Structure 1
């Protein structure tokens, strides 16, 4: 076969832009599913390894630290060397990382596995998110918001089902995830690059949080919403099963995964339902949904009413979905292609810091008080203050824009 014929054959085997777009979205979803998979497993790990509530949230939080570190170092790398090489390395490494979870037999091994998982996820999410924006800016903004909660919902629900009904859940779920990552690696081999490589790859590894001037105000305006929504998400993912013991007894693991799945699934549905709405209107909706959801959830906890708590959880999911999508779209609309991965990294840095640190503080408070309901109420009050601050910021910003028109 001639070189030209081989080239035509290779090109014909390339995935279409549509298929490549969905592959990128699936990578974000599957990586986030992997991050939430341990949610229902924490009780199993805690029983076998004997660590405290504080250590439980440290194990959860170290994942966020890994994501933050990777975003700081690798967040802009795909802008220089291309999305494809970063994602090929990430999917293969993530499949290998599942072996760390399967072999984990101590607290330190579990910490190491979560840290490695966070590092790989951080390197992947900004590259996959930027690749979707490269292919379709409008759909990419929506997919960047809907893919993470879909993945989180699936990971939380599946881990609860694995713990409740299947043998060896601390191994079986990671075997399934590793198979998915290997399949994605094989599919990536058939994709085309979406950006042109350019110089400066080594310099891009130096941590830098600088943002283009045209998006700084938009990013600052989204911070209260991001902090509030991701802090709530972190609590559900780390201490949700413990809180569920007050509702479900022996089914706490399943209910904990289910609560996280409801939160995340409603978030994804909210993204899809509001994808044509103005980003600033979504941020305002997010603040209101957070306020009401936190109050309803608090009533459910106080009255030990699972139905009331789940309604509050669903409202919080609306707040998370609209807030995250509004944040991404309000920033992405202002960005040139070569700045997308770097700017998205900043948003993810704020988000994962907000998810990890409050969860660790909540674990510390739970160890000190021994009362998970009280801890949930304290975190709820802090998130309530942030939601009010976010709403006031949006109202003030709307007033300034109206007076300037």
Structure 2
């Protein structure tokens, strides 16, 4: 039997797609990391400008509104204009936000910079996820999706955690804590643009482009119930992430009396790091087992987190956050995998954009609700109510999924 080698140009194309896969993974990680840079810095902003916890949640909600706005208006258009033509403007928006953080550190500048950051992130999330899947398939056409799922989740959630850790460390050990982190990421964003330009495009533009319309949540009619479960899972997972990227650093510094800047970054990093780690370790699990494990882990973590708040225990708070984050990571991976599998290739970016849209609504609603609640209740009481409501949502999602499978 004679084995014929692939033509040289095919091998070269495959290599370019393989290199591009890792370049886009790095770009994805950098862009997501930049989005959480302000998180460990909020206590500094609060001290210098007299912010209240409610103001912090408004700043955070403005970012999430930017993400949702971008997902509605542009998160899906890479399906016909190309992945690179969406990623490059998105990175430019993040670079503009970095400049705004540097030159306008007052509250109005912070609000505008966070909104612009959200616009960039909304364009990047679904686009980069779809891009990674297509680059993976072009490089390893006969392989499963395990590598794609692992790397895309690590870039997304791992990047979110890395941003807080890097910013917290820089704020703790380097001069100008409200400038240095943004300067570092401005350089990284410029390098990311170069990486995108060097990566081959995976979308062939249609001869007749579809008429533009805002984002719709689209999936095959037969999968609507499964899509709803995936969307609820993503919402619940991102609600935990929203808690830790909005109020948790201030809660640790105030109610738990641990004001260190590096610790503020570590608190958030533990949650996202646990999410990325559980995703990496879950490849051997079936989709059904991954979903169930995610629900149980997030629920258990929320209970431990609530105990830590009630007892003013930093250790319990951190352990509960890590467990809840691990569960949220599994739920989010389950949701992305389910939607990527059920959506046809020509609408994959749109379906993923819809999923991310719902997920980021999970960031806005609970975080904003917590901020409002802290005006009338203690931070501990408000966060305990948050955990109770989220436990109820997890229970309803698990019950719906079980009914669909029975």
TM-score (normalised: structure 2): 0.90
Structure 2: stretches of 5+ with no match in the other structure: 1-7, 138-144
Change (3 A) 1:257 1:48: same
Residue 394 of structure 1 deviates from its aligned partner by 2.7
1:384 paired with 2:401, answer: no
Residues 136 and 213 (structure 1), Cα distance of their counterparts in 2 relative to 1, 3 Å cut: farther
The Cα of 1:37 is off from its aligned counterpart by 0.8
Partner of 1:306: 314
Quote the offset at 1:255 in angstroms.
2.3
Aligned to 2:166: 158
Matched with 1:212 is 220
State the match for 1:317 in structure 2. Answer: 325
1:206-355 residue pairs with structure 2 within 5 A?
206-245=214-253, 246-251=255-260, 253-355=261-363
Alpha-carbon displacement from aligned partner over 1:193-243 (angstroms, at most 9, x marks no partner)? 111111565623433233332442221012332222211110110111122
1:395 is displaced (CA, Å) by 2.5
**Residues 159-217 of structure 1 deviation map (CA, whole Å, 9 limit, x = unaligned):** 22222222111111111111111111112222111111115656234332333324422
Distance in 2 separating the partners of 1:12 and 1:286: 40
Question: What is the deviation of 1:15?
Answer: 6.9
**Offset of 1:305 from its aligned partner?**
2.1
Deviations 1:79-111 (A, max 9, x none): 101111111222233223210111123212111
Residue 66 of structure 2 aligns to a residue whose secondary structure is: helix
Alignment of 1:352-363 (within 5 A): 352-363=360-371
| Partner Cα separation in structure 2 for residue 309 and residue 58 of structure 1 | 24
Matched-pair contact (CA < 8 Å) for 1:242–1:372: no
Distance 1:159 1:387 in 2: 32
Provide the residue aligned with 2:194 in structure 1: 186
The structure carrying a bigger helix percent of its residues is: 1
Instruction: Flag the 1:314–1:249 CA change in 2: closer, same or farther, 3 A.
Output: closer
Q: Name the CA distance, whole Å, in 1 between partners of 2:177 and 2:213.
A: 37
Q: Secondary structure at the match of 1:19?
A: helix
Distance in 1 separating the partners of 2:213 and 2:83: 15
Is the CA contact (8 Å cut-off) linking 2:57 and 2:246 kept in structure 1? yes
Q: CA deviation at 1:135?
A: 2.0
Q: 2:393 and 2:24 mapped to 1: Cα distance?
A: 32
Contact between 2:252 and 2:259, CA under 8 Å: does it hold in 1? no
Q: Do 1:94 and 1:117's aligned partners in 2 also have CA atoms closer than 8 Å?
A: yes
The DSSP-based 3-state class of the residue aligned with 1:16 is: helix
Partners in 2 of 1:63 and 1:259 — Cα distance? 20
Match of 1:374 among 372, 381, 390: 381
Q: Where does residue 78 of structure 2 map in the other structure? A: 78
For residues 123-162 of structure 1, the aligned pairs below 5 Å read: 123-136=123-136, 138=145, 139-162=147-170
CA separation of 1:63/1:307 partners in 2, compared to 1, >3 Å: closer, same or farther?
Answer: same
5+ residue gaps, structure 1, are 1-7, 401-405
Report if aligned partners of 1:66, 1:119 keep a CA contact under 8 Å in 2: yes
Answer whether contact 2:236 2:362 (CA < 8 A) is retained. yes
For the 8 Å contact 2:301–2:320, the answer to whether it is kept is yes
Change in Cα spacing, 1:12 to 1:187, as seen in structure 2 (3 Å) is farther
1:336 to partner: Cα distance: 2.3
Structure-2 residue corresponding to 1:115 = 115
Asked if 2 retains the 8 angstrom alpha-carbon contact of 1:74 and 1:205, the reply is: no
CA contact (8 A) 1:248 1:255 kept: no
Question: 1:241-282, CA deviations, whole angstroms, 9 ceiling, x for partnerless residues?
Answer: 12212334332x332221110110110011111123222221
2:65 aligned partner? 65
Query: How well do the aligned residues superpose, as a CA RMSD in angstroms?
Result: 2.2
Change (3 A) 1:200 1:324: farther
Residues 14/329 of structure 1: CA separation in 2 closer, same or farther (3 Å cut): closer
Q: Which of 178, 196, 202 is 1:170 aligned to?
A: 178
Number of aligned residues: 389
Query: CA–CA distance in 2 between the matches of 1:90 and 1:161?
Result: 26
- Pairwise CA distance, 1:13: 11
* SS class of match (2:259): helix
Q: Is the 8 A contact 1:290 1:319 kept in 2?
A: yes
Contact kept? 2:217, 2:355, Cα under 8 Å: no
Q: What's the TM-score once normalised by structure 1's chain length?
A: 0.90
